Amino acid sequence: MQAMLFRSNRLVGVPLARLLHVRKTYDAWRLGREVDALLLDIIDARRRHDAGERRRRRRRNDLLSLLLAAGDEGGEKRRAMTSRELVDECKTFFFGGHETTALAVSWTLLMLAAHPDWQRALREELREVAGDGPLDATALSRLTKMGWVLNEVLRLYPPSPNVQRQALHDVTLNDGAAPVIIPKGTNMWIDVVAMHHDEALWGADANEFRPELFAAGAQGGCRHRLGYLPFGFGGRICVGRNLTGMEYRVVVAMVLRRFELAVAPEYRHAPRIMLSLRPSDGIQLLLTPLAASTNTSIKHH
């Protein structure tokens, strides 16, 4: 769906723009119907399953069951979510909870392959934290340098390349010679990629891979408190940011314990902005098994 929608320039906000690309509009509609049908089948099956579980006074505790039960919590009757709302929530969590984390891990493996000094530093940190034993949640939270690398990857290659907001009322900006008024209803797009590479915010080497920036704090030494926005900001900041950090550490730790990474000769660096920031032709890496890789299990709760 992403590839189809971004194959040609879209006229966002232009009246009747869909009529200018009828074939693409139809293909996107058809794909959307397929996605909705798949999710509706899953939701309907879970509704039937959970109804049987309630009769046996049992209930699954995963995300979909929690969403289905949201209308009957704490003994109080509340409005249950409609099927359309459930489908939209599932889409959001699938996209926000899977693709973005996968992209962060992918860009990280590329950066570590291109910077073997940091690859060695993370592998050494893993040995210091847990030796060759399993990693639990407490140990994962102590991987400080891995956190620096995650933050720096999210700076250079934010999986969500822009943030959108709409002015709920007239907004007056006074940062300049004359005030600027943003009218109510204006849709604003914040270019996160450009901001994360802005030399005025990050210095002359803003395009370089420098995880040590984040040794000083979560903002990486940015010269503006809102210059670093990998998860958005305000009341709609990404609800899954802590889950992302844990999933990320688990996967990167497992890979580093098993393999030495190097960039494959055929790799061509071509990031592409769609709904997410993706490598146009994938990321080709050479993975060499580590001879000393014995106990590589990871335990998490």
- The CATH number given to whatever domain includes residue 151 is 1.10.630.10
CA atoms of 86 and 79, how far apart (whole Å): 13
Q: Which domain holds residue 64?
A: 1-81
- Shared-domain flag, residues 146 and 224: yes
User: Using an 8 Å Cβ cutoff, are 108 and 153 in contact?
Assistant: yes
- Shared-domain flag, residues 141 and 204: yes
The count of domains in the chain is: 2
Query: What DSSP state is assigned to residue 203?
Result: -
Q: How confident is the model at residue 175 (pLDDT cuts 50, 70, 90)?
A: confident
pLDDT of residue 10: 60
**What's the pTM value of the predicted model, to 2 decimals?**
0.80
Tens of pLDDT, residues 4-28: 777 655 666 677 766 777 787 788 8
Q: How many CB atoms lie within 10 A of CB 22?
A: 9
pLDDT of residue 258: 94
- Shared-domain flag, residues 74 and 115: no
- Shared-domain flag, residues 242 and 295: yes
- Shared-domain flag, residues 2 and 137: no
CA atoms of 159 and 283, how far apart (whole Å): 15
